[in-house]
Structure 1
Amino acid sequence: MPALPLRPSWLLPLLLLLAGSATAATPPQPFDARYHLQVAGWPDADIQHQLQRTGIGWQSEMSTKLPGISGHEMGRFRLDEDGQVQSLYYASGYSLLGIQRSYRLERDALQTWLDRQSALFSLSRQAIDGDCTSECRVHYLDHRGREERVDYRVTGREMLELPAGRFEALRVEVTEPGEPDRRLVFDFLPRMPGLLLSMGYYRDGERRSHLTLTHLNAP
Structure 2
Amino acid sequence: MPALPLRPSWLLPLLLLFAGSAAAATPPQPFDARYHLQVAGWPDADIQHQLQHTGIGWQSEMSTKLPGISGHEMGRFRLDEDGRVHSLYYASGYSLLGIQRSYRLERDALQTWPDRQSALVALSRQAIDGTCTSDCRVHYLDHRGREERIDYRLLGRETLDLPAGRFEALRVEVTEPDEPDRRLVFDFLPRLPGLLLSVAYYRDGERRSHLTLTRLDSP
Equivalent residues in 2 for 1:164-179 (5 A)? 164-179=164-179
Q: Which residue of 1 aligns with 2:201?
A: 201
1:149-172, Cα deviation, whole Å (9 max, x unpaired): 000000100100000000000000
Offset at residue 133 of structure 1 (A): 1.1
What count of residue pairs does the alignment treat as equivalent? 197
Distance in 2 separating the partners of 1:27 and 1:49? 18
Distance in 1 separating the partners of 2:90 and 2:129? 25
1:94-152, Cα deviation, whole Å (9 max, x unpaired): 00000000000000000000000011110000000000011311100000000000000
Q: Which residue of 2 aligns with 1:4?
A: none
Offset at residue 78 of structure 1 (A): 0.4
Structure 2 residue matching 1:134: 3-state secondary structure: coil
Structure 2 residue matching 1:122: 3-state secondary structure: helix
Distance in 1 separating the partners of 2:99 and 2:24? 46
Q: Which residue of 2 aligns with 1:35?
A: 35
Which letter does structure 1 place at the counterpart of 2:114?
Answer: L
1:189 partnered with 2:189? yes
CA RMSD of aligned residues (A): 1.0
Task: State percent identity of aligned pairs.
Answer: 89
Q: Which residue of 2 aligns with 1:112?
A: 112
Q: Which residue of 2 aligns with 1:145?
A: 145
Unaligned runs of 5+ in 2: 1-22
* Pair 178,24 (structure 1): closer, same or farther in 2 beyond 3 Å: closer
1:46 partnered with 2:23? no
* Pair 24,173 (structure 1): closer, same or farther in 2 beyond 3 Å: closer
Distance in 1 separating the partners of 2:211 and 2:24? 30
TM-score, normalized by length of structure 1? 0.89
Question: Is the 2:48–2:62 contact (alpha carbons within 8 Å) kept by the matching residues of 1?
Answer: yes
Distance in 2 separating the partners of 1:103 and 1:203? 28
Distance in 2 separating the partners of 1:116 and 1:66? 23
* Pair 24,207 (structure 1): closer, same or farther in 2 beyond 3 Å: closer
Offset at residue 24 of structure 1 (A): 7.0
Larger Rg: 1
1:213 partnered with 2:183? no
1:63-113, Cα deviation, whole Å (9 max, x unpaired): 000000000000000000110000000000000000000000000000000
1:80 partnered with 2:116? no
Higher helix share: 1
Structure 2 residue matching 1:138: 3-state secondary structure: strand
Unaligned runs of 5+ in 1: 1-22
Structure 2 residue matching 1:93: 3-state secondary structure: strand
Distance in 2 separating the partners of 1:156 and 1:68? 40
Distance in 1 separating the partners of 2:93 and 2:158? 35
Q: Which residue of 1 aligns with 2:162?
A: 162
Distance in 2 separating the partners of 1:58 and 1:216? 18
Distance in 1 separating the partners of 2:135 and 2:214? 30
Structure 2 residue matching 1:123: 3-state secondary structure: helix
Question: Is the 2:24–2:84 contact (alpha carbons within 8 Å) kept by the matching residues of 1?
Answer: no
